Amino acid sequence: MPAFESTQFTAWLLQALCSAFLAILFLQSGLDKVIDWKGNLGWLTGHFAKSPLRGVVPLMLGVITLMELAAGALSAAGLVALVATGSATLAFWGALVSAVSLVGLFFGQRMAKDYAGAGGLVPYFLLSLAAIYFTRLG
């Protein structure tokens, strides 16, 4: 961690805060899907009942669960690495997997014609893009 007085501290702080936020967001969401798989599958089956994706809901749920858990784990590990060594490499990968996960979620919401749900993902996507940028500052 850079000294508080240094100009690098602000970049480090942005990296750490983005990593913490993405770790919380995706670990909670991914773990919820694992813990309540049946409930999530039931809700999503109904959600996609009238969409072209109706036949692949279990596969989609599995893929997005793995992506969310990977995004959360990489972001959490990235936060630890930032604090311990100052390296933002894992935080970058966490942000990148977060952005890809959000693109997948956005696609699903649009296909289900849940435009409000899709719109609700935009701030998270923008944060993940900012995190990608901040973790490349050096």
Cα(137)–Cα(85) distance, integer angstroms = 15
Instruction: Check pLDDT > 90 for residue 137.
Output: no
pLDDT single digits (tens) 68-105:
999 999 999 999 999 999 999 999 999 999 999 999 99
Q: pLDDT-derived band of residue 65, with 50, 70 and 90 as boundaries?
A: very high
pLDDT of residue 30: 97
Instruction: Check pLDDT > 90 for residue 4.
Output: no
Cα(1)–Cα(135) distance, integer angstroms = 14
Question: Does the predicted model carry a pTM greater than 0.75?
Answer: yes
Neighbouring CB atoms inside 10 A of 34's CB total 12
Spatial contact of 98 and 75, defined as CB atoms under 8 Å apart: yes
Instruction: Check pLDDT > 70 for residue 138.
Output: no
* 113: Cα within 13 Å, side-chain hemisphere: 6
Average pLDDT rounded to a whole number, residues 41-49: 92
pLDDT of residue 2: 79
Average pLDDT rounded to a whole number, residues 101-122: 95
Which helix (H) or strand (E) segment holds residue 66: the answer is: helix 57-84
